[in-house]
Structure 1
Amino acid sequence: MRMSKKVVHMTSVHHPFDTRIYHKECLSLQRAGYDVTLIAPETDAESEINIVPIKKYKNKFLRMAFSTYQVYKQAKKLQADVYHFHDPELLPVAWLLKEKNNAVIYDIHEDYATSIMQKEYLPRLLRKLITKAYKKMENVFARDMDLCLAEKYYQELYPSGQVILNYPLLNQSLLNREVSEDTGQPANKVLYTGNVDVDRGAYIQARLPLIDNEITAYFFGKCASEVAANMYETAGDQKDRLIIEGIDRYVPREDIDDQYMNRHWLAGIALFPPTEHYKRKELTKFFEYMSAGIPILCSDFPVWKAFIDRYQCGIAVDPQEGEAIRDALEYLRLYPEEAARMGRNGQKAVQEELNWQKEEEKLLQWYDEIWEQAREAGDDHAK
C-alpha cells in the first residue's frame, strides 16, 4: 500500500483561512512533512497550501445539500491517508470516506448540542428534537473516527477525544510589543475581535458608549448587517462611538493583528451574556488580547473569572451591570500602571504556556500515531 502521508482537511462552512484550520493545523502539518490539501469555500487569495475550492451557498439548506456533495466528490478523488473535517454537516461525508486503510478525524470546534439548545428563534420542542437527532447522527457516523477537541471541557462529553486547544500562534511582534503605562495617548478605546453576534454579547457591548461617555468600542470580525443595525440602534445617539469593521464580510487575520499592533487599547472585551455554550469556554480572543499585552474585560462566569484570577490579566464583571462595567473601565483608565501590569502578565503567560507551539507538538505526535495505525491497517488489509 502506498502511504504518502497525504492529509485532506475539509470544511464547507469556515473561511479557507480560518485561524485554527489553516494557520494552525494545516500549516503545522505541512511544515512537518505531510502532504496537505484543504477543501474549502472558494477564495481568490494566495495560499501556502493546495486549496481545492467549492462553492459556498448563502442558504444553509442549499449549502448542506450541494456544498457537502462537492466536498465528498473532491475528497474521494484525493484518496487521502487522513481526512480531517471541521463541520458537523460533513459527518455523513466523512463516514462515506472512512475505510480500513485510512483515518478520519472529526475536529469538534463547538459544543454543538448545547449550541442548538440556545437557538431561541426555534421552538423549544423543536430544539430538543434537533439536538436528539444530532446526537444520534453523531454517535452513528463518528463511531470509527478519531476526535479532535478544541476545548478542555469537551473531554467530559468525548472521553476518548484528543484535546488540541485553540491557543494562539506565538507572534513575536505582538509579544515584543512594549506594554507601558506611559502611552502618550488617551486610553479611551476598547477592542473586540472575532465573530460578532447576540450570543457573543453584541448588544451588551453596543451599550458601552452609553455606559461610559469617554469610550469608543471597535469591533473587528464578521457581523451580520441585521446585528450591526441593532447594535447601532442600541447605542442610540452615541452610535458614532461604535465602530464595526466586518459587516457581512470576513476580516483577515492580518488586519486583526494590525489592530493589536497599531492602536492603544484600554481593554480587550468579551462581555457575553450567560449561556451554557460559552460560559465554560476559554475564548481564543483571551489569548490574543494577552499576546498583545491588552488587559481583558470579560463576564464574570466562574471559569472565566478563575482564568483572569490565575493569570492576573484583566477584570471580570457582571455583564448585565452597567455600573460595574463603568467602574472597571474607569479603574483601568485611572491606574495605567496596573493596566500595564495586567498586559505584561498576559504576555508572559502566552509566551511560557498558552501558545499554539505547545499544542502543535501534541497535534504532530497524535498525527504520527494515527498515520502509523492507518499504515498498519493498510498492510493488514493488503494481505
Structure 2
Amino acid sequence: MTEKRIGIFVNYGWLSISPSLVSTIRLLTEDGYFIDVVYLYDEQFGLFEPESDRVNAVAIRNFKNKYLRKCFSLLQLLVSAFRIAGWQKYRFFVGVDQGGVITAGILSKVKKTPYIYYSLEMLTRESIDKTKTAKRLFLRCKKFLETYFSRRADRIIIQDKYRAGFLTEDNMLDKKKILIVPNSFYFLAKDNIDYGISYLQIPLDKKIVICTGTVSPITQIDEIVKSINLWHSDAVFLIHTSYITIYLDEIRQYIEQNKLEHKIFISTKRLNFGEVSSLIRKADIGIALYKSVDMNRHLCPSGKVSFYLAMGIPIIVNDIPILRDFVDEYKCGMYVKTPKEIGEAIRIILNDYSSFCVNASRCYNQELNFPKHFKKVTEYIRGFSQICE
C-alpha cells in the first residue's frame, strides 16, 4: 500500500502568503496526508513555516540576478523535486502554476504517479504576444509545456468559473477535469486572535477603509490616495503591507507633501494570517482595486477580498466579472470603475452598514468558504487512491 504522501511543487517564493496554498496544505494534513512541498525561496516573502510535523517544506535558494532567476528557476525546481521525491512513493503530485505542473508532469512520467494542476496565475497566449522577442520565445516554450502537461493532468483546480472558461479554451482542456476552488483561506481557531493597532494612532471615531497586501502600481494605491479628499469626512485609509518598495516610498512622500497624515495610515509590520485577519476586523470597509493589465488582473478576485468578506466587512472592488457577481447577488459592497468613485461608494455603504456586513458574511459562507469547496478535491484524491489500492 502506498503511503499517504503528496508532493507539491511551487515555482515561486510567495508560498507563505498564498491563502489558497496554505489552506490546501492545512486540509490535506488534516485528512491524514504527509506533504513534501518544494518551492523557490524569496527573501521578500520569507520562509514557509509548516504548522504540522506532517509537512516537509524544502526551500530552494534562488538566484539574486533576475535574468538568471527567470532562466533557471524551473530547472532548479525540477532538480530539487527529483532529489526530494526520487525515493518516496506518492499518492499524488500537485503542480502549482506553469513551473509546478511541468515539474509534476515530468515526475509523473518517471514515477507513474497521477498529478493535479493547481492554477492560480494564468500565462495566456495573448499576454505572451505582447512581450519582447527574447522573452516571448522563452514564454512560448513555457506555455507549450504548460499546455502539454495541463492536458494530461488528472484534475485541474482553478479559482472561479471565468478563469476556468478562459484556461479551458487557451489550453484546450477537458471541462470535466475542472474543479473550482476559490482563492480563499481556511481559518482555524488559532487564527482568531486580537492584534492591537494602537501604534497606528487612528482616532477611535473614524471609519477605517483598509487595503492589505502588495502595494504596487497594479493595485492603484496612488490613485486611491489621490481620491481621498472625495471621501466621507469620517473615513480614513489604512494601507497594510509587509513589503517596502520604491512605490510605497513615493506614496509616503505624497502623503507628507499634501499633509494627509491624518487621513492615511500605513502599517508595514510582517503579520501572519491570524494577525492580518484581526487587523481587518478592526476596519469597516475593505478595498481591492487592480489595473486590468492582463487576464489575471481582469478576472481577479484577489485573496484579500476573501479575507474582508470572511471578517464580515463590506468590499469596494473593480467592476470585473466575478466580483461584480458577488456584489450584485449578495449586496456585500460596491464596485467602481475608477478610484474617484470610492468616496460615493463609502457613503452608500455607511448609510446601510449593518445590512452590508450581514451580506458580506453570507457571501463568504456561500462562495468563498475554502473547506466547503476544497472537499471535492480531497474526495477525488481519496476515491482515486481507493481504486489504486
- TM-score, length of structure 1 as denominator length: 0.79
| Aligned mates of 1:57, 1:238 — CA distance in 2 | 41
| Relative contact order, higher structure (CA 8 A, sep 6+) | 1
Pick from 160, 179, 182 the counterpart of residue 151 of structure 1. 160
Q: Deviations over 1:222-249 (max 9, x none)?
A: 44512212333454424534444448xx
Rounded Cα–Cα distance in structure 2 between residues aligned with 1:173 and 1:73: 34
Is residue 118–residue 277 contact of structure 1 (8 Å, CA) maintained in 2? no
**How far did 1:102 drift?**
0.8
1:73 to 77, 83, 86: 83
* C-alpha contact (below 8 Å) 1:54/1:70 kept by paired residues: yes
**Superposed displacement of residue 191, structure 1:** 0.7
Residue of structure 1 in register with 2:2 after alignment: 3
Match of 1:270 among 264, 288, 299: 288
* Alignment pair present for 1:50 and 2:50: no
| Deviation of the 1:187 alpha carbon | 3.5
Q: Deviations over 1:130-189 (max 9, x none)?
A: 5543332212343422322223223222223322222332567999x9xxxxxx942332
Structure 1 residues 163 and 45, CA gap change in structure 2 (3 angstroms):
closer
Match of 1:351 among 331, 343, 365: 365
Matches within 5 A, 1:22-37: 22-37=21-36
Q: Describe the shift of the 1:367–1:252 C-alpha distance in structure 2 as closer, same or farther (beyond 3 A).
A: same
One-letter identity of the residue aligned with 1:189 = I
Q: String of CA shifts for 1:265-300, please: whole Å, max 9, x gaps.
A: 231001223343323333332222112121111222
Count matched residues.
356
1:341 aligns with 2:349: no
SS in 2 for 1:186: coil
Asked whether the 8 Å contact 1:201–1:270 carries over to 2, the reply is: no
The answer on whether the counterparts of 2:20 and 2:183 sit within 8 Å (CA) in structure 1 is no
- Distance in 2 of aligned mates of 1:7 and 1:46: 15
1:205 equivalent in structure 2: 224
Tell me, yes or no, if the aligned pair for 2:206 and 2:234 is still in contact at 8 Å.
Answer: no
What residue is the counterpart of 1:237 in the other structure? 258
Percent sequence identity is 18
1:67-101 CA distance string (max 9 Å, x none) = 42334422334342311121422444323311363
Question: Structure 2: which 5+ runs fail to align?
Answer: 42-46, 169-174, 195-202
Equivalent residue, structure 2, for 1:287: 306
Deviation of 1:364 (Å):
0.8
* In 2: Cα distance, 1:152 partner to 1:371 partner: 27
Q: In 2, are the aligned partners of 1:82 and 1:105 still within 8 Å (CA)?
A: yes
Name structure 1 gaps, 5 residues minimum.
178-183, 377-383
Map 1:115-154 → 2, pairs under 5 A = 116=127, 122-123=131-132, 132-146=140-154, 147-154=156-163
- Alpha carbons of 1:44 and 1:108: their partners in 2 closer, same or farther (altered >3 Å)? closer
- For 1:37, the aligned partner's letter is D
State the distance in 2 between where 1:115 and 1:283 align.
21
TM-aligned CA distance change 1:208 to 1:112, over 3 Å: same
Q: How does 1:367-378 map to 2 (within 5 A)?
A: 367-372=381-386, 375=388
Aligned: 1:366 with 2:375: no
The C-alpha deviation readout for 1:94-123, integer Å capped at 9, x for no partner, is: 23311363112221102221794598xx54
Cα distance in 2 for partners of 1:80, 1:299 equals 41
Given candidates 169, 172, 190, the residue that maps to 2:186 is 169
For the 8 Å contact 1:9–1:38, the answer to whether it is kept is yes
Q: In the TM superposition, what is the alpha-carbon distance from 1:126 to its structure 2 partner? A: 6.2
Q: Identify if the C-alpha distance between structure 1 residues 16 and 347 changes in structure 2 by more than 3 Å, giving closer, same or farther.
A: same
Please list the CA deviations of residues 302-326 of structure 1 after superposition, one character each: whole Å capped at 9, or x if unmatched.
Answer: 5422320111111112225x2x222
Q: 1:298 to 1:32 in 2, by over 3 A?
A: same
Task: Give distance in 1, aligned partners of 2:331 and 2:373.
Answer: 23
The structure 2 residue matched to 1:97, chosen from 103, 107, 110, is: 107
Secondary structure of the residue aligned to 1:98 is helix
TM-score normalised per structure 2? 0.78
Counting only pairs closer than 5 Å after superposition, residues 300-311 of structure 1 correspond to structure 2 as 300-311=319-330
1:8–1:46 distance in 2 versus 1, CA, 3 Å: closer
Alpha-carbon distance change, 173 to 139 in structure 1, aligned in 2, over 3 angstroms? closer
| Aligned counterpart for 2:276 among listed residues 252, 256, 264 | 256
